[in-house]
Amino acid sequence: MPELRTLPFLALSAALAAQAPAVKPPSPNASFAATRLDDPRALMLKARSMQLRVGGDDPKGAAALYRKVIELTPKSGEAHLRLSEALEESKDVPGAIQAAKQAVALDPKSGEAAGQLASLLFRKAQEDKSVLPEAIQALRAATAKLPTDPQMWAFLAESAEAASDDRTAMDAWLRLGRLRPDFVPAWERAAIHAWVLKDYAGRREAIMALCDREDPRPGDLKLLDSLAQEQMKSGFLGHAEDSYTLLAEHLPQEPAVWASLALVELRVPEYTKALANLQKAESLRADPGTSFNIALCLMNLARFDEAATRLQALMKVLPGSDLELKDKLQDLSQTLYAQALLLQGQPKQLLAWIKQAPARPGSAGDLTVMRAQALIQLGKFSAAKEALAQGAKAYADRPFFKEAGALDGSRKDLQARLRQVDLQTMAEMWASFGQWQTCLDTLMKAKALGAPENADLLLLEANAYDQLDRPNDNLRVLRAAQKLAPTNATLQNNLGYLLLDHGGDLKEAASLIEAAVKQEPSNGSFMDSLGWLRFKQGNLADAETQLRHAAEIRPYSADVRQHLGEVLLKQGKPAEAITQWERALAFAFPGRDALEKRLEDVRAQQAKAKAAAPDTPSPTDEGDGDGE
């Protein structure tokens, strides 16, 4: 557990009081001396002027007048409330508590009465622990009626801590922190309880708040760095990006922070942002790992010439470095460099480089494939056929050699098939770097050579149309693939989901998705499709069951969490829906901004509903946090 500075209750109360606005008391009116003893309103005004809190000096006299008012109007919650105040000022705490209870009973909607009772019980519980459960109950009621009163939340948090109720304490400190973002002790205490509870959401909110200040303490920044590393390991890339961005604001001269932020963006992927941050890291400290990641960004931004130049330099430096991942980076650098040459249309340069640069064990298979491709592209078909035969012996499991190794027929047919295999492999390479239009263009060239279509290539073509947002073409190609491989589970799922999302036939979508799930019942993506299908069919109970199952299989899927949230909202479970969407936002995905807006709208609706029903239980009853 981290060591976080805490403050005793008195210091907390003083700090809160120092931030509270001053209230100007009304001046006493001398004409009250002649107040009629049968006029409740006049008695109330006279008694009020005698209370200490408004500048008077006779709380016992005020209490006597309030008792007279109660005799005249025994159902007056206001009179009982003011009597409680006067008795408190007179140091009669038991009497004040009894009067406050009467005020609450007579006017259960009164936030002021609830707050008075809760405050009295809280103070009594400081001396008598047996009162603690009653105090907590009263504070829960008070915070429900006075959700923007920071003192009530502070009292509830302190009481929950005294009762060893970490959940309530954490939630209350978080609520106080949201009301008073600059009140550091609230965030510190929330972080401690979140750590004990292993509550990721609460810990993240508290740590981010502690660091989202002009001059956070070094210890808080260490907590943020630890949180960011944990988020990376857990796949919470959206949250990790937020954490490292905040760290970079406070530690702009630390190259490791910029490099870590870039690693998150590489995985998202956001290559332009990653490249800029890697360049910042490199300007502060040159490093072979950073250099490799820059090359990777350049490849994914189709800046192949720059990537090749950097990789050439890197391959000279890596053998003499003491980098932990040196061997892996040497393998990957060779593969990337060869790909860069092919993607630039430089097969001759590739062959010359392979001839003078011995392939490493980890890249030999890839280089063997690309050497055969280079020979095909240069029209050296006899040499290519020989390279394919050798590759098939050494790397029989590679699809490239399986596809090309058994080629036969006339010379013309053989050449056409070799060109087609190369083009298909190039299309896959373009897809791997996110160049979907070029991938599609390359597939069209392969198709033009007249070889029979296969389902795998059609799925790649469909993926290209999907990425280019061309649903009609996507549907057309999936239909063609369906004829070739009607029982392919991935094809069934993709086609069924496309029909769901674009208003297709619901019965056909159901048939396809259910068939896919039957083949692969443990496939989380298929289960997600099934849950969304049930939602579209109006079967909300089964939709929830299937999506919860999908969430167990794919706990880090934003799509599953979004779908589950929609189902829960439709079922009238907005709090659970919000929780699921908050979990989804921990990840990084294209529709993140839209989901954030949707979440804000639902929260606003919930706030309006809560304001219209002030007796709704405090959020601490259910907990604001989301356990790990």
Confidence of residue 430 (pLDDT cuts 50, 70, 90): very high
The residues near 326 (Cβ < 8 Å, ≥ 6 apart) are 288, 318, 319
In a domain, 74, yes or no: no
Percent of all residues in the chain with a pLDDT value above 90, rounded to a whole number: 74
Total tally of structural domains belonging to the chain: 1
Please return the burial class of 26, using the count of CB atoms within 10 Å of its CB with bins 0-12, 13-18 and 19+: exposed
In a domain, 532, yes or no: yes
What does the alpha-carbon distance between residue 290 and residue 297 come to, in Å, rounded to a whole number?
11
Please return the burial class of 130, using the count of CB atoms within 10 Å of its CB with bins 0-12, 13-18 and 19+: exposed
Are the C-beta atoms of 458 and 480 separated by less than 8 Å?
yes
Arithmetic mean of pLDDT, 175-195? 97
pLDDT, tens digit, 9 for 90 and up, residues 31-86? 444 456 778 899 999 999 999 999 999 999 999 999 999 999 999 999 999 999 99
Nearest by Cα to 393 from 372, 414, 413: 372
Q: Which two tokens stand for residue 288?
A: 């072979």
In a domain, 32, yes or no: no
Residue matched to tokens 């880090």: 556
pLDDT score at 547: 96
pLDDT score at 555: 86
Confidence of residue 358 (pLDDT cuts 50, 70, 90): confident
Are the C-beta atoms of 79 and 44 separated by less than 8 Å?
yes
Q: Residue 145: is its pLDDT beyond 80?
A: yes
What does the alpha-carbon distance between residue 324 and residue 563 come to, in Å, rounded to a whole number?
41
**Greatest pairwise CA separation for the chain in angstroms:** 123
Number of H helices, E strands in the chain: 33, 0
Residue length of the chain: 628
What does the alpha-carbon distance between residue 565 and residue 508 come to, in Å, rounded to a whole number?
25
pLDDT, tens digit, 9 for 90 and up, residues 326-351? 999 999 999 999 999 999 999 999 99
Average pLDDT of the chain is: 89
- Dihedrals phi, psi of 627, to nearest 5 degrees: -60, 155
Confidence of residue 518 (pLDDT cuts 50, 70, 90): very high
Q: How many CB atoms lie under 10 A from the CB of residue 72?
A: 13
Q: Which two tokens stand for residue 376?
A: 């095909």
What does the alpha-carbon distance between residue 125 and residue 5 come to, in Å, rounded to a whole number?
24
pLDDT score at 561: 94
For the question of whether the overall pTM of this predicted structure is more than 0.85, the answer is no
Three-state SS for 241-271 is: HHHHHHHHHHCCCCHHHHHHHHHHHHHCCCH
Q: Which of the pair, 176 or 390, is modelled with greater confidence?
A: 176
pLDDT score at 21: 43
Partners of 627 in beta bridges: 199
Are the C-beta atoms of 118 and 152 separated by less than 8 Å?
yes
pLDDT score at 625: 40
pLDDT score at 8: 41
Q: Which two tokens stand for residue 420?
A: 């087609």
The residues near 545 (Cβ < 8 Å, ≥ 6 apart) are 531
In a domain, 277, yes or no: no
Nearest by Cα to 84 from 155, 41, 42, 110: 110
pLDDT, tens digit, 9 for 90 and up, residues 283-330? 999 999 999 999 999 999 999 999 999 999 999 999 988 888 899 999
What does the alpha-carbon distance between residue 460 and residue 333 come to, in Å, rounded to a whole number?
26
Q: How many CB atoms lie under 10 A from the CB of residue 395?
A: 17
pLDDT, tens digit, 9 for 90 and up, residues 226-263? 999 999 998 888 899 999 999 999 999 999 999 999 99
Arithmetic mean of pLDDT, 268-280? 95
Q: Residue 427: is its pLDDT beyond 80?
A: yes
pLDDT, tens digit, 9 for 90 and up, residues 442-475? 999 999 988 778 888 899 999 999 999 999 999 9
Are the C-beta atoms of 297 and 274 separated by less than 8 Å?
yes
pLDDT, tens digit, 9 for 90 and up, residues 108-118? 999 999 999 99
Q: Residue 210: is its pLDDT beyond 80?
A: yes
pLDDT score at 345: 97
Are the C-beta atoms of 261 and 245 separated by less than 8 Å?
yes
In a domain, 409, yes or no: no
Are the C-beta atoms of 131 and 159 separated by less than 8 Å?
no
Are the C-beta atoms of 88 and 78 separated by less than 8 Å?
no
Q: How many CB atoms lie under 10 A from the CB of residue 611?
A: 10
What does the alpha-carbon distance between residue 278 and residue 270 come to, in Å, rounded to a whole number?
12
Question: Residue 49: left (phi > 0), alpha (psi -120 to 50), or beta?
Answer: alpha
Arithmetic mean of pLDDT, 130-148? 96
- Dihedrals phi, psi of 273, to nearest 5 degrees: -65, -40
In a domain, 528, yes or no: yes
What does the alpha-carbon distance between residue 277 and residue 123 come to, in Å, rounded to a whole number?
53
Q: Which two tokens stand for residue 199?
A: 């509550």
Supply the CATH number for residue 603's domain.
1.25.40.10
Task: State the residue range of the domain holding 612.
Answer: 522-628
Q: Residue 16: is its pLDDT beyond 80?
A: no
Report the b/e string of 227-265 with b at 16+ CB within 10 A: bbebbbebbbbbbbbbbbbbbbebbeebbebbbbbbbbb
Q: How many CB atoms lie under 10 A from the CB of residue 105?
A: 12
Mark out the alpha helices in 73-212 (DSSP H runs): 77-89, 93-106, 111-127, 132-145, 150-162, 166-179, 184-197, 200-211
What does the alpha-carbon distance between residue 366 and residue 373 come to, in Å, rounded to a whole number?
11
In a domain, 357, yes or no: no
The residues near 370 (Cβ < 8 Å, ≥ 6 apart) are 338, 339, 342, 350, 354
Q: Residue 627: is its pLDDT beyond 80?
A: no
Nearest by Cα to 4 from 137, 187, 224: 187
In a domain, 494, yes or no: no
